[in-house]
Structures are given as structure tokens and as C-alpha cells.
Amino acid sequence: MNSSSGKTIIITGGAGFIGSHVVRLFVTKYPDYRIVNLDALTYAGNLENLLDIEKAPNYFFEKTDILDTQAIDEIFVKYQPHGIIHLAAESHVDRSILSPLDFVYTNVIGTVNLLQAARKHWTGQFDDKRFYHVSTDEVYGALGETGLFTEETRYDPHSPYSASKAASDHFVRAYHDTYGLPIVLSNCSNNYGPNHFPEKLIPLFINNIITKKPLPVYGDGLYTRDWLFVKDHALAIDKVFHHGRNGQTFNIGGFNEWRNIDLVKLLCKQMDEKLGNAPGTSEPLITYVKDRPGHDRRYAIDATKINQELGWAPSVTFEEGLSQTIDWYLQNTAWLENVTSGVYQQYYAEQYSKR
Ligand code: NAD
Ligand code: TYD
């Protein structure tokens, strides 16, 4: 889809972690677009993420659940969107182990609801339309010591989260193959950065170092993830949305693998420097706890295709990105305090009382 003026784009999940960075990028970079943030504001949705752009004339917010077929229908009528960038999802593996059905509803049925609405309202007039589904590398399953996920890697999800995302990916491709819906997909590795909800590894551990609480490392700590700075993911989404060929999938990752324990030690080191602690102050907080069931050993993305076809590459090193992320959390203590109160506390108690 080219970037000519006057387009209306619905971004689902725009109040969440990645979605808020995508909304900000599109609102500021494309002043001629109307950007509609469609979000149900679950525990993970936070409009405080978007305070700096909420008054922009091209920004609109709709508090809507993607499971609400009638409301989605009305939004298509009201805005006549040219594009959907679909990020709304239940996104946390540990929550999916506790409540798998929530993941089936939002990630699978919610996605099909949106596909149905696009199919119904675009009525075969697909020339200037695009449905972009944002997905995860976790659909590919787990790697051993070597190898990388390519776009051709067979799907092999293990958690209810990754199974639900895999199902949604299949539905998006099915709507392309069956009804001709113009689609693109991307499967990205683990993101980190500002506005990350503090139940995921990096923000949880930043918060626990600040508050001097234990750092619960699952299992032997040798699980490996491929980390990408969230703003680089948003830039990749911009490229894929505008220039990815119809029907194509792009893997997005930073060629940046870290074993959890090494990442946590780097985080402790950077935090001690920034907090003015003596070297080695925070590492003793590391506590090995019971492993996550079905824990995937290693994820690593081959991002050659998006690099060669769309010219995208990460802009920051992990050390720089992590440093910027820590600075953001240290400068936004009110955000962190608001998020870590209430519902989050109940979840935290349930999740860690058994470990
Ligand atoms: P997040 O949990 O921070 O945000 C999800 C957003 O979706 C929230 O604002 C929430 O309110 C909204 N939402 C949830 N259920 C909804 C519903 N039924 N209707 C409308 N809105 C609803 O998630 P995130 O980490 O920003 O991830 C965004 C997307 O990117 C997800 O699809 C996820 O699978 C994918 N992804 C995430 C990562 C990562 O590392 N976080 C990596 C690759 C892909
Ligand atoms: P997470 O941030 O939940 O992302 P994902 O499960 O989607 O990869 O976890 C990243 C890694 O960190 C994963 O291997 C699980 C591990 N982890 C811990 O060791 N302790 C924790 O408290 C959390 C939340 C995660």
C-alpha cells in the first residue's frame, strides 16, 4: 500500500506496548492519514502510553472489543478504513497457561471477526486496501542450539498463546487464499523498550531491581530469546505495511540472541550503574524458580528477507536499547506505579505464589 494522502488506518491494540509505538509513529509520520486506535483497554491497554499524541488532529480512539461484531461493523461504516494493522491480542505466555480460553477468544475469534468485517465492507474492492496481521516468532516453536526461523519454517506452537497466534495466522492466510483479501503478515521476535507491561521479563526485572525484590529466573536460566527494540519493530511494521508484497510474510528480528541469565546479569550491571549502586549490588537478587511448563528453549529469527526486500535493519544495539529502556523506566516512575497497582498485583500474587 503506497503512502499517498487521505488514508484511514485502524490500528488494533494501539494502547498496548507495541501498538502505542506504532500509533505514535503513524500519527506523527503521516499527518495526512487518519489513525484510529481501536482497543478494548484490557489490563494491558493503557492510554497513558499515548498522552503526547492524543490531541493530534489525525488521531482517533475507539474503546472497542474485537470480539464485538456489531461494534466492529459500526466502526467500519463510520471510518471506511483503507487499512487494518492488527496488534490487539492477549500476549503473555504465562497468562495463557493460566487462562487459555481468553487467548482463543481474542486472538483467534477476534482476528476472524476483523477479517469478516474487512471482507464484508471492502466487498471485493481491494485495490487500495490492506489487512496487516502482526504475529510472533513463537508460532515456529523451539530451536535447538543452532538454526534460525525463516519464513518457511513449519509452524509448531507449544503454548496456548503461540497456538492461538498460529491459528490466527492461518485464518489470515485462508482469507487471502479463499476470498482474495489483500494481506501481509509479520512474525517478530521478543520486543523490549518503553511502555512494556511489567509482567514480561525485562520490565518486571527493572521494577524488581528498583524495589529490591527477587528476580525470578525460570528453570536453569539458559533459555534463549532474540531481542528487538520496540521502536525498530514499529519501523519494520511501517515498511511491511507500505511496501510488503500482497500475501507475503516477513520475519522481523534483531540477530540479537541472549540467554536469559546473561541478559539479567547485563540488566543488573546497567541498573547498578544508573542507580549509583556499588558494582554487583543487584545480582544477588537473582533467584532460580520453578520452570514454565512447555518452555521453549530457544527462539532466533532470520531477518534476511525484510532486510533484502524492504531495506529494514535494527537501528540500535542491544546495549543502547536496554540503556534507553532503563532510563525511560527510571524517568517514568508514575507510569510504573500506576501500572503495578490494582489488577496487576492480584495477577502477580497468583503467578508467583506457587513458584
Ligand atoms: P500488549 O499485551 O502490550 O497489548 C495488547 C493490546 O491489545 C492492549 O492494548 C489490549 O488492551 C488490547 N486488547 C486485548 N484484547 C483485546 C480485545 N479483545 N479487543 C480489543 N483490544 C484488545 O501486547 P504487545 O506486546 O504490544 O503485542 C502486540 C501484538 O504484537 C500482539 O499481537 C502480539 O502477539 C504481537 N507480538 C508481540 C511481541 C512482544 O515481544 N511483545 C513479539 C512479537 C509479536
Ligand atoms: P517473556 O518476557 O514472558 O517473553 P516470552 O515468554 O514471550 O519469550 O519471557 C522471556 C524469557 O524470560 C522466557 O524464556 C521466560 C523467561 N522469564 C523468566 O525467567 N522469569 C520471569 O519472571 C519471566 C516473566 C520470564
Domain extent listing, the chain: 8-193+227-255+298-315
Question: Would you identify the CATH topology of the domain 8-193+227-255+298-315?
Answer: Rossmann fold (3.40.50)
- Report the SS3 class of residue 257: strand
pLDDT of 341 > 60? The answer is yes
Confirm or reject: Cβ of 198 under 6 Å from ligand 1: no
Which pLDDT score, from 0 to 100, does residue 354 have? 65
Q: What percent of the chain has pLDDT over 70?
A: 95
Ligand 1 neighbourhood includes 84 CB (under 6 angstroms):
no
* Contact indicator for 215, 298 with CB cutoff of 8 Å: no
In the sheet where 83-86 sits, what is the strand order? 59-63, 34-39, 8-12, 83-86, 130-136, 183-188, 249-252
Provide the whole-model pTM. 0.96
**Ligand 1 closest atom vs CA 18:** 26
Contact 22, 14 (CB under 8 A): yes
Packed helices 260-275 and 201-210: angle between N→C axes, nearest 10 degrees:
40
Specify whether the CB–CB gap between 252 and 228 falls below 8 A.
Answer: yes
- Ligand 2 centre distance from Cα of residue 201 (Å): 5
Answer yes or no: is the C-beta of 200 below 6 A from any ligand 2 atom. yes
335 Cβ neighbours under 8 A, 6+ residues apart: 46, 48, 195
pLDDT attached to residue 343: 55
pLDDT band at residue 344 using 50, 70 and 90 as cut-offs: very low
pLDDT digits (tens, 9 = 90+) for 17-76: 999 999 999 999 999 999 999 999 999 999 999 999 999 999 999 999 999 999 999 999
Radius of gyration of the chain (CA): 20
